[in-house]
Structure 1
Amino acid sequence: MAKAATADDVAADAPKKSKKMLFIILAVVLLVVVGGAAAMFMMAGSHAEEGEDEHADEMSEEDPDAKALAAKKAKLKKKKEAEAKGLPPVFVELDPFTVNLAPETQVDQYLQVKASVKVEEQPAADNLKVYMPEIRHHVLMLLSGKKASELGTTEGREALAGEIRNSINAIVGEVPTNKKGEPEEPVGPVEAVLFTSFIVQ
Structure 2
Amino acid sequence: MSETAPAPAKNKKLLIIVAVVLLAVLSGVAAWVMLAQRSSLDDEEGGRSGRAAQAAAKAPPTFMPMENMVVNLADPGGDRFAQIGITLELADAKAAEQVKTYMPSIRSSVLLLVSQRTTDELLTREGKEKLAQDVRREVSRPLGYAIPKPRKRAAQRDLDDEEEDDDEDERPRRRADDNPVRQVLFSSFIIQ
* Alignment TM-score > 0.5, same fold: yes
Report the CA distance between 1:39 and its aligned residue: 3.2
**Which of 61, 65, 81 does residue 55 from structure 2 map onto?**
81
For the residues of structure 2 that align with 1:166 and 1:158, how far apart are their CA atoms?
Answer: 13
Is 1:189 paired with 2:170?
no
| CA spacing shift, 1:150–1:28, aligned 2, 3 Å | same
Asked if residue 165 in structure 1 is aligned to residue 148 in structure 2, the reply is: no
- Structure 2: stretches of 5+ with no match in the other structure: 149-176
SS at the partner of 1:111? strand
Do residues 101 (structure 1) and 99 (structure 2) align?
no
Shift of 1:36: 2.1
CA deviation after TM superposition for structure 1 residue 18, in Å: 2.8
4+ residue runs of structure 1 moved beyond 6 angstroms? none
Q: Which residue of 2 aligns with 1:11?
A: 9
Structure 1 residue aligned with 2:112: 141
2:20 is matched with which residue: 8, 19, 22? 22
- Alpha-carbon distance between aligned partners in 2 of 1:167 and 1:187, rounded to the nearest angstrom: 16
- RMSD of aligned residue pairs (Cα, Å): 3.0
Percentage of identical aligned residues: 28
Task: Give the paired residue count.
Answer: 162
Counterpart code for 1:88: P
Using the alignment, how far apart are the partners of 1:144 and 1:116 within structure 2? 19
Using CA pairs below 8 Å that are at least 6 residues apart, which structure has the higher relative contact order?
2
Q: CA deviation at 1:37?
A: 4.2
TM-score, normalization: structure 1? 0.68
